[in-house]
Amino acid sequence: MRKKLILIFLLLLSVSIVYGDPEDEKIDISNINDAASLWRLFLDNPDLKTGSDVLIRLGAVGKGNRMIIDNINNYLMGKNLLFRSGENVDYTIISVCISALMELGDSSSYPALFSVLYAGYPEVITSEAQGALEVIPGNLQQFLVNVITNNPPEEKFAAFIMGINSDRLTVSQRGQLAELALEQGLASTDDNIDLTAMRYSSILLLTRLRWTRANALAIRHYYRVQTDYLTNPKQKERFIEAITCLGAVGNSDAALVLCLQLGLINARTESTGAYDSEITLAIVQALGKIGYNAAFDHLLNVSNLSYPEEIQAAAREAVARLKW
């Protein structure tokens, strides 16, 4: 038995001497500077280690090489499509692709990197893609505008979310993006979940920014949500958000809309005593923020009705803020 083990050991040793240790056969790419040769090597060596090393090297030597940039863009797009279709992909190679494109720094990579954001990858991968989009030179705002205008709902919403969280966009650019997002959301007559979420999110941002250019769109949104609320009381919070937005961005047109609503509420309160305190308070406060004096009679009438002190005080404050 001992002799047999010795013979097996000698046989394995001879094989190692003839063929070498696989670890000794690693491909050294550190001295390869030809991008085309590196890309062929990447295609010919699908193993993860070599592929990752080649992509990193391409990021260093491929700047300005249109063929290489396009090839990596297309490779990443293909992987994203596979992943969205349910196929497994290696997250490491996706991460290295993102790093390589970030090093190459070409704005033609925006679509490939953006497609990572809605492919369903883990947050660590989407964060890397968003980080790359933040640093690659180019007109990122225009790219996002084009996506929100022309792409499917899921991509519109992803572009909007990225834009409002981008450090590269100014406050003014974010306002423009939110205005466009609201317009696109209102253009849809169905209840697409992404477009609806984008519309609600844009209203919150426009309110914070007091983006008065969106006044007409905010009025349209108000009527849309009012209809939703009348058929589904669970939409009350969204309705209050719409009222608050009118107060933040509205002009005399928005004030007249709210005056009409407060007049109806006052009439119902006087005849039945029934009213929603949160909605009523939101309307009174919004009218005070707009300051249009046509609201005077409706606000004054609040003091003659059985509203709680919180609403009464808000009405007095609103009257004081009216512009004459």
Q: Give the tens place of pLDDT for each residue, 208-252.
A: 999 999 999 999 999 999 999 999 999 999 999 999 999 999 999
Domain of residue 315 covers 251-324
In a domain, 18, yes or no: no
Question: Looking at the structure, do residues 259 and 240 belong to the same domain, yes or no?
Answer: no
**Strand boundaries in the chain, DSSP class E:** none
Mean pLDDT within 114-128: 96
In a domain, 257, yes or no: yes
Examine the fold and report which residue of 250, 280, 298 is the final residue of a domain before the chain moves on: 250
CA dihedral 308, 312, 314, 315 (to 10 degrees): 140
Mean pLDDT within 269-297: 97
Q: Could you tell me which residues are beta bridge partners of residue 292?
A: 323
Question: Looking at the structure, do residues 100 and 165 belong to the same domain, yes or no?
Answer: no
Q: Is the pLDDT of residue 163 over 80?
A: yes
Domain total in the chain: 3
CATH number at residue 74: 1.25.10
Mean pLDDT within 62-67: 95
C-beta separation of 267 from 309 below 8 A? no
Q: Is the pLDDT of residue 41 over 80?
A: yes
Question: Looking at the structure, do residues 86 and 149 belong to the same domain, yes or no?
Answer: no
Examine the fold and report which residue of 115, 137, 159 is the final residue of a domain before the chain moves on: 137
3-state secondary structure of 165: coil
Query: From the CA atom positions of the chain, what is the Rg in Å?
Result: 30
Question: Looking at the structure, do residues 262 and 236 belong to the same domain, yes or no?
Answer: no
In a domain, 23, yes or no: no
Q: Which DSSP symbol is given to 211?
A: -
Other Cβ atoms closer than 10 A to 106: 20
Distance of CA 97 to the CA centre of its chain: 22
In a domain, 13, yes or no: no
Q: What residue has token string 């491929």?
A: 62
In order, the DSSP letters of 31-96 are T---HHHHHHHHHH--SHHHHHHHHHHHHHH-TT-HHHHHHHHHHHHHHHHHHHTT----HHHHHH
Mean pLDDT within 279-288: 98
Tokens of 257: 């809309």
**Distance separating alpha carbons of residues 220 and 242, to the nearest angstrom:** 10
Question: Looking at the structure, do residues 274 and 189 belong to the same domain, yes or no?
Answer: no
Question: Looking at the structure, do residues 120 and 190 belong to the same domain, yes or no?
Answer: no
Helical pair 215-231 and 236-249, crossing angle rounded to 10 deg: 160
- The model's pTM: 0.86
Q: Is the pLDDT of residue 153 over 60?
A: yes
Which residues, other chains included, contact 91 with Cβ-Cβ below 8 Å and sequence gap of 6+?
Answer: 121, 122, 125
Question: Looking at the structure, do residues 233 and 166 belong to the same domain, yes or no?
Answer: yes
Long-range CB contact pairs, 91-97, < 8 A, 24+ = 91/121, 91/122, 91/125, 92/48, 92/52, 93/48, 93/51, 93/52, 93/55, 94/121, 94/125, 95/125, 95/128, 96/51, 96/52, 96/55, 96/56, 97/55, 97/72
Q: Could you tell me which residues are beta bridge partners of residue 88?
A: none
Phi-psi region of 86 (alpha: psi -120 to 50; beta: other; left: phi over 0): left
Least confident of 10-19, 106-115, 283-292: 10-19
Question: Looking at the structure, do residues 267 and 246 belong to the same domain, yes or no?
Answer: no
Question: Looking at the structure, do residues 182 and 244 belong to the same domain, yes or no?
Answer: yes
Average pLDDT value for the chain: 91
In a domain, 62, yes or no: yes
For the four alpha carbons of 7, 9, 10 and 12, in that order, the dihedral sign comes to positive
Question: Looking at the structure, do residues 243 and 144 belong to the same domain, yes or no?
Answer: yes
Tokens of 202: 């844009």
Examine the fold and report which residue of 250, 271, 288 is the final residue of a domain before the chain moves on: 250
In a domain, 52, yes or no: yes
In a domain, 3, yes or no: no
3-state secondary structure of 139: coil
Question: Looking at the structure, do residues 44 and 118 belong to the same domain, yes or no?
Answer: yes
Q: Is the pLDDT of residue 17 over 90?
A: no
Residue 96's identity, in one-letter code, is V
Question: Looking at the structure, do residues 208 and 299 belong to the same domain, yes or no?
Answer: no
Q: Is the pLDDT of residue 24 over 50?
A: no
